[in-house]
A and B are shown apart, each in its own frame.
Chain A
């Protein structure tokens, strides 16, 4: 793998980490309300796929979707602004943390009902196939999604129609609070289901961004060659709880420690140094990313609240909300 790709992967993970740590801080300062679902610890999946895909590819993610949206090139200010309910927000406060979307970046939405976006991603892939654009749709989802009907319906349809779609399960071992293994018939919730749909089981270390990146490249190559969908299970771990309301106390401390030692970012930094990239270069990237997070935070904080009249717009394509004459 070339150096440029590695720098991109490292920077992408740092951006995710920096943005979400800041989101956490802003929550503690009561500048972000409601809820947020952080992907701290899971950055390698979003960064690996985001770096491997084409700018015009489609991504569909979950309510834990800050990172997957950011890696498409969506500005940090727009994401933090949305979390804070500001006019500069990506959706001007009409969607919030769980619905980040930027169609101009191919980020086709964050879906907050488990499983919904898998068939929707299949539909985007059907559209790409029909229009012969060579675009690929990627759906990111958690381990809990593998037990909902939409997962199975989407996989079956995608295989039957040979759709250019990649299904990426981020298995972080817990649905919300309950360990996935306690409520699932198979050990590997996604990979062990692959054969039911005639797919190759793909189980990878989701904390190794190089592995994720290479796996993504292969899946995109397959999809673009007309060879249909892939189902990838990336094993990873969230450093925090399910959402803001959850301190994650149900997890044994040895388990947490073991996974903290597998932090995708610190380990990747060590690998890059071993490959001869000097600490000063890496430090420059880190400082750069931190400055970007700081600037985005300040810009978002200065942004006013959204104009109240937009609460009644954009129900319909004509921009309005009228239902009668």
Chain B
């Protein structure tokens, strides 16, 4: 096991797959010579050269369009959209073209591609550089949606996404980039559509994604030590495909579910999870399903304001306490 940062795990995952498969190309703004604005792709240009690691103009439609065209003609491209907020200027290519073309063509076309993007808040960047947009992607049939919370998952899930035959939206939570963690040595490839039980408890299941996972874990520790409440924490990891079995099993054991979502309230992934649990486990529940989310507002910039709206450890603890008591 080597210790890598979440940031270093990105380049490690891409490099592992580029070494293995010459059809893997990587393109995006400032990704090659500059190594990425978040320094997530340093060293890739040196190792793989400008034919495979390509700086693009600030042209998100061209980036995603070129990625799609390359994927449907035999390559396995990876694109970077610098901030996930920028998907708004190339959403046609994602939502109408990449997501739908396999279906519309009766399965003639394949899109083995990955679009990576820095997603989420906590960096004081304001409303247009901080959004959690995984629920935008989740709402469209034809896109797989992955959001890792640890360096090991960044590498393993990124490798799995690159090898996957379908288009994968890979959301890296930008406030986690400096977080370090153990990453398995040698080739590391994970599985899409498998949630992880991070800790096991008996009173409540807390389901979280990306940056909300470490917060949920901290909350679970406080709940245990200060309030005597035993919580399971599940890292969802992949929204599409969604590992409902792990989730349903946990909730059937604890009888309670709290989701912790960074996205604004309406139609966040937790709403879908809550609806599945309500439909399929209603009679096993010991209380209402509770969603902890960012309120339905754009994210503010000032640290005090942003901290106020993003789900924090204290709010998770309070919400669980209220539910269990």
Contact = CB atoms under 8 A, between A and B. Distances in A.
A127 B71 CA distance: 8
Interface residues of A, number: 54
B134 interface: no
A75 interface: no
B69 A125 contact: yes
A267 B136 CA distance: 52
B133 interface: no
Contacts of A45: none
Interface string A104-128: 1000110101011111111111111
A266 interface: no
A85 to B, nearest CB: 13
B103 A123 contact: no
A161 B69 CA distance: 15
B182 to A, nearest CB: 27
A318 B68 CA distance: 19
B240 interface: yes
A197 to B, nearest CB: 12
B52 to A, nearest CB: 8
Contact of A157 (B59, B104, B107, B142): B59
Nearest to A94: B106
Interface string B75-101: 101000000000000001100110001
B8 interface: no
Given A119-B69, A323-B242, A153 B59 contact: yes
B107 A313 contact: yes
B253 interface: no
Interface stretch (A95-103, A208-216, A218-226): A95-103
Contacts of B54: 161
B66 A157 contact: yes
Given A119-B64, A314-B102, A58 B56 contact: no
A322 B241 contact: yes
A122 B62 contact: yes
Contact of B69 (A94, A120, A323): A120
Contacts of A122: 62, 65-66, 69
A123 B69 contact: yes
A249 interface: no
Contacts of A116: 61, 65, 92-93, 96-97
A237 B72 CA distance: 32
A317 interface: yes
A117 B61 CA distance: 10
A321 interface: yes
Interface residues of B, number: 49
B67 interface: yes
Contacts, number: 163
Interface in A47-105: 58, 60, 90-92, 94-95, 99, 101-104
A99 B105 contact: yes
Given A94-B104, A113-B96, A325-B244, A127 B62 contact: no
Q: Residue among B56, B108, B110, B240 with the most chain A CB within 10 A?
A: B108
A102 B57 CA distance: 31
B56 A157 contact: yes
Interface string B218-252: 00000000000000000000001111110000000
Contact of A123 (B67, B112, B276): B67
Contacts of A124: 69-70, 72-73
Given A94-B104, A324-B244, A119 B66 contact: yes
Q: Residue among A116, A314, A316 with the most chain B CB within 10 A?
A: A316
Given A154-B65, A157-B59, A325-B193, A127 B75 contact: yes
Contacts of B106: 90-92, 94-95, 310, 314
B59 A156 contact: yes
Contact of B105 (A94, A113, A121, A149): A94
B114 to A, nearest CB: 14
A94 B100 CA distance: 10
B280 to A, nearest CB: 11
B97 A127 contact: no
Nearest to A89: B106
B57 A156 contact: yes
A324 B238 CA distance: 10
Contacts of B276: 324
Interface string B159-201: 0000001100000000000000000000000000100000000
Interface in A163-182: none
A128 B101 CA distance: 20
A319 interface: yes
Interface of A: 58, 60, 90-92, 94-95, 99, 101-104, 108-109, 111, 113, 115-128, 130-131, 137, 149-150, 153-154, 156-157, 160-161, 310, 313-319, 321-325
- The list of the 10 closest CB pairs from A to B, nearest first, reads A123-B69, A119-B65, A317-B165, A123-B66, A314-B107, A153-B62, A153-B59, A124-B69, A127-B73, A120-B69
Interface of B: 25, 51, 54, 56-57, 59, 61-75, 77, 92-93, 96-97, 101-110, 112, 141-142, 165-166, 193, 240-245, 276
12 contacts: A99-B104, A109-B105, A113-B92, A116-B97, A119-B65, A125-B69, A127-B69, A150-B62, A150-B65, A316-B165, A317-B165, A324-B244
Given A103-B108, A321-B141, 8 more contacts: A103-B72, A116-B61, A124-B72, A131-B75, A157-B62, A317-B166, A318-B165, A325-B242
